Structure 1
Amino acid sequence: MRALDDIIVLDLSRVLAGPWATQTLADLGARVIKVEKPGAGDDTRGWGPPFLTDPETGERDDAAYYLCANRGKDSITVDMSTPEGQDIIRRLAEKADVLVENYKVGGLKKYGLDYPSLKEINPKLVYCSITGFGQDGPYAPRAGYDFMIQAMAGMMSVTGERDDLPGGGPQKAGVAVADLGAGLYAAVAILGALHQRGRTSKGQHIDISLLDAQVFNMANQALSYLVSGTAPKRLGNGHATVVPYQSFPTRTGHMIIAVGNDNQFRKLVTVLGRPEMADDPRFRTNGDRVENRDALIPMLEEMTRERPSGELYELLESSSIPCGPINTLEDVFQDPQVIARGLRKDLPHGKHGTVPGVASPLRLSDSPVSYDKAPPLLGENTDEVLADLLGLGETKLGDLHDKEII
């Protein structure tokens, strides 16, 4: 058994935030039915390189981007612009526990697939809408993309090198953090709504906004502003309120040193050969070190440059000083802890034998995630799903195929 193996999810979303949410539900055991446009599918199937390569023709197949967010799902193709396609989706929604969509606000109303319409035929439906700016407010009609949301939510105002240093200026995160955050909050909200439904027998509409998610994820930086009235600035790899907590140069590269308290700072300067620095009034407490960051960091950098990264890492680790290497993804998947935790998963795939994936961080002792289903080919499960859930026979399915509705 898996935690959600009695739940059916109708996934009308595409790209990242919605698929990330529904992949989380699939990991927990839900049957996720991904509805895609015939002949095209999710945009991310073409967002490469890199791509899988067709083993028979050598031609490009689905992109790695698509693979990252769609394992464990069934793919069906339905032309939503046709009355017959709309009827199929309504009938599936009648059977579903959850529907996830990321169309523009009001975009599904013309098809009769908005929440008020589907609530009439399935009052228990948990309907989750993911948009850039939410269902109301002056920006609600706008399209929202991760990059612009990172900028608008303040993320880029605190990410990047200091403005007074070479290379200074705003910088986005290296992954789509606004999309991923919204997807995770969507999954959390869906689980909460399902629990509530168990008490009331009623579904509800969930309104998830990328902007809301990213502003919330500003966390301590947001509260620093709200408490002080002063907007935090970019500090490169430094930390706004903990020092030293950043990357440091070594003889052979860079590494991270993350000192979280005064005792760890005393250990650090002792290991580096300058124990008296722990009693220097400028550096005695974390508050002192934050105020005197510009004096402290160059002194520490001078010492860390004396040793190669590997030697310094072992020296600090042996003294229980938090530190770590700056890994490439090649390094990551060769790391012994990553290997021990099984974070690479090779998923069985009907066309490619196996395709790689990354393990879910959700570790449940009694209902664990299983990795038995790779991201589906476009429309791979159309006939199976429509026969199973809607009872469509071969004749009807053939007719729908001939009309290019599925």
Structure 2
Amino acid sequence: MTTQDMRTETTGALDGLKVLDFTQMLAGPFCTQLLADQGAEIIKIEPMSGDTTRKVGPFHPDDKLRAFGGYFQSANRNKLSLVLDLKKAQAREIVLKLAEQADVVVENYRPGVMDRFGLSYEVLREKNPKLVYASIRGFGDPRTGDSPYIDWPAFDVVSQAMGGLMGITGPDANTPIKVGPGLGDLVPAVLAAYGIMSAVFRAQRSGRGQFMNVAMVDGVLALCERAVYQYSYQGKVPHPEGNQHPLLCPFGMFPARDGWITLACQSEDFWHQLCTLMEREDMLADPRFADNQSRVKHREAVCDAVSAYTIRYTKRELTERLGGHVPFGPVYDIADIHADPHFQGSGMLAEVEQPGMDRTLTIAGVPIRMTETPGKIRHRAPLLGEHTDTILLKAGYSEAEIARWRAAGALA
């Protein structure tokens, strides 16, 4: 897709929203990608060396260019790339001018970095009082809260650990485990996108923007809300409990002959249905299983009975027997997902161009569905500096100015 196509193509619900994106790695880029998928114009402002994830990969063996791999592609689609050296005065002046025309600025540097560039919220607010300035940091920002760790760097594994997610995840009470996906990045990213649009809604009505921050550890703690009230209401420190639920039963993972499946039959209707499907109506008359609270108390007996049934069948056979009757799902790997008709029809396996290759590759699609303004993947992630000239010409700079600044090393 050409740059001209990008500018003229009908976009989504956020068409007209202009975002300056100073983020790198995963949390910030995923946040701005959520906005881009719904039609916002995202100008990704990268340093001269580019977002560090451009070099991370993974790279397809047929990729002759290696401009970026799957990591970068999956978090930076639908964006434009502008390369600036923010240590140069000319680059800072460009940002100030772009900020006058923008609705949102998003960054995930450590506290004080943008201030040292002369591009703090306070400076940009003087240029544009309606500007929403959003940051995603490990432990917050002095403008919105206090923390002894405010200057600490953080990544996914740190926020999973300190936010409580690892402390309630694992096979047993003594073995905390990191969750596979980068939820320590992704959950704060989703919350930040929600916060940005809340602030934009207010700015459009009041004419006043504001500073907004999501601390990564706080976002993870919000995800772990159950642990908070268990400690408060019960005086209990929750620990990893394997693949079952501490408050509901049966609710968790059970063995199949060729893998694992999940069931969630805590309500009486679903419990009765499950017992009937298992041909274990005798369990309905057992007082140990009379209600959810009783079943939780006798969890081992319940899980043993359900497991004795599920282990007799394959995942496919259990799908045929239980699917649609009770809350049920087989545990999938990515090959299973690719083969499942739901994902084949849902658009969640999206094909994108990969520079350096003559065929497309697959990334996760857009899960938010709208009837009038559907979000979608409009174009691949950008090459480094691919849109520098286009963005600056649109902002009112001349070709001669752009060439002079490029020669001075302020942009690429």
CA contact (8 A) 2:184 2:217 kept: yes
**Structure 1 equivalent of residue 339 of structure 2:** 334
Residue 263 of structure 1: CA displacement?
2.0
Provide the secondary structure at the position in 2 that maps to 1:248: strand
Letter in 2 for 1:143: P
Residue 107 of structure 2, aligned match among 101, 104, 126? 101
Please say which of residues 174-183 and 349-358 is displaced more in the overlay.
Answer: 349-358
Residue 199 of structure 1, aligned match among 200, 205, 211? 205
**Pair 143,393 (structure 1): closer, same or farther in 2 beyond 3 Å:** same
Residue 30 of structure 1: CA displacement?
0.9
Provide the secondary structure at the position in 1 that maps to 2:203: helix
Q: Deviations over 1:123-156 (max 9, x none)?
A: 1111001100111321111112110111111111
Aligned residues: 396
Residue 250 of structure 1, aligned match among 239, 246, 256? 256
Provide the secondary structure at the position in 2 that maps to 1:151: helix
Q: Deviations over 1:282-323 (max 9, x none)?
A: 1111100111112221232222222233222211126x0221
How far apart, CA to CA, are the structure 1 residues paired with 2:194 and 2:23? 17
Among all aligned residue pairs of Structure 1 and Structure 2, give the percentage whose two residues are the same amino acid. 35
CA contact (8 A) 2:366 2:376 kept: no
CA contact (8 A) 1:72 1:374 kept: yes
CA contact (8 A) 2:366 2:377 kept: no
Matched, 1:227 2:233: yes
Provide the secondary structure at the position in 1 that maps to 2:323: helix
Residue 115 of structure 1: CA displacement?
0.4
**Structure 1 equivalent of residue 14 of structure 2:** 4
Matched, 1:60 2:69: no
Matched, 1:51 2:56: no
Matched, 1:347 2:352: yes
**Structure 1 equivalent of residue 170 of structure 2:** 160
With the length of structure 2 as denominator, give the TM-score of the two structures. Answer: 0.92
Residue 34 of structure 1: CA displacement?
0.1
How far apart, CA to CA, are the structure 2 residues paired with 1:364 and 1:272? 39
CA contact (8 A) 1:349 1:373 kept: no
Residue 44 of structure 2, aligned match among 1, 16, 34? 34
Residue 384 of structure 2, aligned match among 348, 359, 378? 378
Q: Deviations over 1:326-352 (max 9, x none)?
A: 111121122101111121222356654
With the length of structure 1 as denominator, give the TM-score of the two structures. Answer: 0.93
How far apart, CA to CA, are the structure 1 residues paired with 2:220 and 2:276? 40
Q: Deviations over 1:59-94 (max 9, x none)?
A: 533121111111110001100111121111111112
Matched, 1:307 2:316: no
**Structure 1 equivalent of residue 97 of structure 2:** 91
How far apart, CA to CA, are the structure 2 residues paired with 1:364 and 1:300? 39
Provide the secondary structure at the position in 1 that maps to 2:32: helix
Question: What residue ranges of structure 2 are gaps of 5+ in the alignment?
Answer: 1-10
CA RMSD of aligned residues (A): 1.7
**Structure 2 equivalent of residue 323 of structure 1:** 328
How far apart, CA to CA, are the structure 1 residues paired with 2:345 and 2:118? 49
Letter in 1 for 2:223: N
Matching of residues 254-265 of structure 1 within 5 Å: 254-265=260-271
**Structure 2 equivalent of residue 189 of structure 1:** 195
Provide the secondary structure at the position in 2 that maps to 1:44: helix
Residue 5 of structure 1: CA displacement?
1.2
Provide the secondary structure at the position in 1 that maps to 2:113: coil
**Pair 139,237 (structure 1): closer, same or farther in 2 beyond 3 Å:** same
CA contact (8 A) 1:97 1:125 kept: yes
CA contact (8 A) 2:65 2:355 kept: no
Question: What residue ranges of structure 1 are gaps of 5+ in the alignment?
Answer: none
Residue 261 of structure 1: CA displacement?
0.8
**Pair 330,307 (structure 1): closer, same or farther in 2 beyond 3 Å:** closer
CA contact (8 A) 2:259 2:331 kept: no
Please say which of residues 332-341 and 346-355 is displaced more in the overlay.
Answer: 346-355
Q: Deviations over 1:372-403 (max 9, x none)?
A: 211101110011101111x2222221122222
**Structure 1 equivalent of residue 4 of structure 2:** none
Please say which of residues 247-256 and 129-138 is displaced more in the overlay.
Answer: 247-256
Residue 180 of structure 1, aligned match among 171, 182, 186? 186
Provide the secondary structure at the position in 2 that maps to 1:205: strand
